[in-house]
Amino acid sequence: MNDDRNRSWPGQEPDAPRRAQSGPWPGEDPGPAWPGEEAPRRPQRGTPPRGNPRAGGSPEWPAGDEGGPQWPAGDEPTRRPQRPRQQGQQGQQGMPPRRAVPPSGQRAQQGPPGSPPQGFRQPPGGRRPTPPPGREPDLITHHAHNGTDDVGRDPYDDGYDDAAFNEFADDVEPQGELDEKGKKVLTPAQRKKRRWKIIRRVAYAFVGLFFVVPAIAFVITYFLVDVPTPESIKSLQNQPITYYDASGQVMGRELPPGGDRQLLKPGEVPEVVKHAVYSAEDATFETNSGFDVTGILRAVWNQVSGGQGGGSTISQQYIKQATQNDAPTLTRKWTELAKSFKMNNQESKEEIITSYLNIVYFGRGANGIQAAAKAYFNKDAKDLSPSEAALLAGLIQGPGRSENQAYAQKRWAYVLDQMVANKWLRQDERATAQYPTPIPKNANKEQNSGKLTYQVQQRIKDELAAKGYDENKLFSSGAKIYTTIDPAAQAAAEQAAADGMKGQTDENLLNALVAVDPKTGGVIAYYGGPELVKDANGKDQIGQDRANQARNPGSSVKAFDLTAFLKMGKGLGEVFDGSNNRVLGGRVVRNAGDSASCGKDCTVAKAMEISANTVFYDMVLNVTKPSRVAEAAKEAGVKVAPNGKSVLYTDDNNISLGGGGTAVTPEDMAAAYASFASGGTYHEQHFVAKLTNAQDEVEFDQNNIKTNPAFDDDAAKSQQIAGNVTEALVPVIDHSKLKCPAGHECAGKTGTQQYTAKAGDPPSYADRNAQTWMVGYTPSVSAAVWVGGDGNKPLHDPKGKPIFGATVAGPTWQNFMDLYLKGKPTEKFDKVQAIGKDVNDVTTTQTKPSDTPSTTTTPTTPATSDSTEPTDTSTNTSSRTTRTRPGPPTTIINPGDGNTFGGGGGVAAPPGAGPG
């Protein structure tokens, strides 16, 4: 907003200033008058007057009587004129430069009313300068309210150019000399002042850069980082897995890939060990806050000067080990500092040093002070002497040079000297200290004394993995595995297996033995064959675990045939046609040998005793059906996929004789027969009785697992079924020319799988067998013995004769039972009520079987006859009538073909049964 240019000053007549003027400047129009009582404005004009007033040139200044300073005399030295300000320095283009604003809080000095401001000469008498055209005075209301204008200028500075007057002003300091670069030449005082000003600014920047900013960043990092928790570190602190037998004795230990480690708890680390480690790694550990400033500076100096030694405290080393981060970056070191500081605020020094000594590596595969004490001195950490502790502490910096005698002695001496310097060891003790000689490397390796075999170890791991405890979890927790292995039973099994193979000349013969406790289901003995065997090149390799490979069980599966039959309410007194060479289901079924028959009226009990194939094939085909046999086997304890390796094939009737696609492991056979021995109670077979961690906290206890009846929801009914099966299996022992251990009742069943002849085989191979079994039990132990070959191979004894279940497997089983049960209390089976028809109520005339062991073979080519029609047999309780009727032609099938579950992959021969 612009005001009227000719407007008068407040409190003054409009024409008063004009009347007071003596006249205008030469060549100029009169301008506005000076204000009366208000602060005067300086005369304004476009350009300074031309000419030299001191030289008397035109125009001349009238003599003035105002109170301002007068024009200097002509002989007065001329002041250096100030350089005019640049037009662009003002707020608006075209605005003339203005004088400097007076200091805040001060008003411009004024002369008497009507005089110009101090420091300016009065204009010549007569007329005042006229302001340049286009300039209007501001309204007093613009800035009068706050004493200044809108940009903080002096209210008495009108903003018009006064550079020309500076030459004559007394309040303007003279312009300093300029150097050749056009810069002002400073006085010594000014240079000193400027120099200190620069130093102060640099100091402020240094403090901010190296102290304030890092402090703020450290605080932020402190709240962002997480300190490794004991739970998260446990996974890094892998410890050995310790195996215990049923008596609580150590069977063996398995070291993790990173080496041995045994964790100690806070309070278990002796003071002498702590002081030795402090002396070697961090003498101020007990007092520092997680990092040592002097140590960091010393480390920096060592890096610069080429010296040795780091600045990490024990807390920082622990963080590095716990996080597995050793990257040589500033970020890692920075966060490491924050974490160690935070950890010292959250945990006690005792907890930190214990955790550190549990995780640090000492060489020789030993992680942690306890494992190191064992590896170097074969003693516990609590028993270490100061000299031994000093040696171990000195190896922390160079565990890879633990076997370097010179290095180890140098570090040992250094640690002892530091212990003296820190008053943790007396000087006289240091003087008498002797270098401790470590034991030879690996000399303290704990032996398992042959009690823990590779096969047992793997079966234990398989079982735990199925429960969710894989190897990593076991190592991370330092698992203690309390197994069910009875050292006496294991020793008996290995001896019996070795004795059974003595004198055998057939290189294809292999064997396996598994024993189970019927009262718990725990595997007390497990032998799957030799641990090491020779390969084709004569080199040692791990042998196969035969006890965990599925084979055709042969006639040993007939116990499950009978179980399914009893569950239907049928009894041991039921009668079947036990004749040889019967045609059943379009297939010719024959017994083992010409005399392995019990006639037309053969009870189930007698058929089990002599292993009459025709009876059990008929029973499953026409009464129980294969599915019920498979169900009974699983109820007893046979594990099929996906939880086991056994196969119960129900698409044909071969399951009745244990052939075809049916295959069972020795472990499953021992466990299933244990359900009969236990009186019909099912206990899942297992190797692990209890699992704890390194702190003895129980993960699970198999003894607390609830058991169930095996064959019926009613426990009494299940017991009755199991008791009837046992009654049928008791006579088999004597019939197979085996004996029970002295003072013990026993029951069992043999099994034989016939070899399937191939083109070009010698005629003698026709009667050879490929697999043989003996499975039996007493009330306290159930054992299964398998003797056979890998797949379909014709086996023979030293005389070149076929082997049977009673010739090698049977004696092996008997030997094991005698060895294990020797000296144990006598045992008898519980008597139960007969199911269905009691065998004692049945009178039959049966053919006496041959004493010669024979193999039972299922469907074969029928005998030559004028008629090609098969015979169909019907059975009743009083008599058996045989009649012939037309039927489909007999199918000549070699049952058992197509089996691929023999461990060796070959096609197995038809299943066989029989006493041998």
Torsion angle of alpha carbons 400, 406, 412, 418, nearest 10°?
A: -110
Q: Indicate the helix (H) or strand (E) that contains 527.
A: strand 523-527
Give the ranges where 395-531 is alpha helix by DSSP (H): 405-421, 427-432, 454-466, 471-477, 487-500
Say if residues 709 and 680 touch (Cβ distance below 8 Å).
Answer: yes
Q: Indicate the helix (H) or strand (E) that contains 774.
A: strand 769-777
Q: What whole-number distance in Å separates Cα of residue 741 and Cα of residue 705?
A: 31
- 37 is an active site residue: no
Say if residues 118 and 1 touch (Cβ distance below 8 Å).
Answer: no
Question: DSSP secondary structure string, 270-334?
Answer: -HHHHHHHHHHH-TTTTTSSS--HHHHHHHHHHHHHT-------HHHHHHHHHHT-----HHHHH
Closest alpha carbon to 754 in 579, 604, 593: 593
For 6, counting Cβ atoms within 10 Å of its Cβ (0-12 exposed, 13-18 middle, 19+ buried), the class is: exposed
**Look-up: residue for tokens 């029609």?**
869
Residue 781 to residues 275, 310, 464, 738, Cα–Cα distance (Å): 56, 64, 24, 17
Residue 126: both structure tokens together:
């007569």
For 607, counting Cβ atoms within 10 Å of its Cβ (0-12 exposed, 13-18 middle, 19+ buried), the class is: buried
Cβ neighbours of 692 (radius 10 Å)? 19
* DSSP label of 805: I
Q: Are strands 250-254 and 523-527 parallel, antiparallel or unpaired?
A: unpaired
Residue 69 to residues 80, 155, 164, Cα–Cα distance (Å): 18, 23, 16
| Beta carbons within 8 Å of 468's beta carbon, 6+ residues apart | none
- 635 is an active site residue: no
DSSP lists the bridge partners of residue 905 as: none
Catalytic residue among 8, 312, 387, 555: 555
Residue 154: both structure tokens together:
């002096």
Q: What whole-number distance in Å separates Cα of residue 576 and Cα of residue 568?
A: 16
Q: What whole-number distance in Å separates Cα of residue 435 and Cα of residue 637?
A: 61
DSSP lists the bridge partners of residue 701 as: 690
DSSP lists the bridge partners of residue 542 as: 532
Omega cis (within 30) before 642 = yes
Residue 466 to residues 183, 457, 459, Cα–Cα distance (Å): 88, 14, 11
Catalytic residue among 8, 279, 281, 387: 281
Catalytic center residues:
281, 555
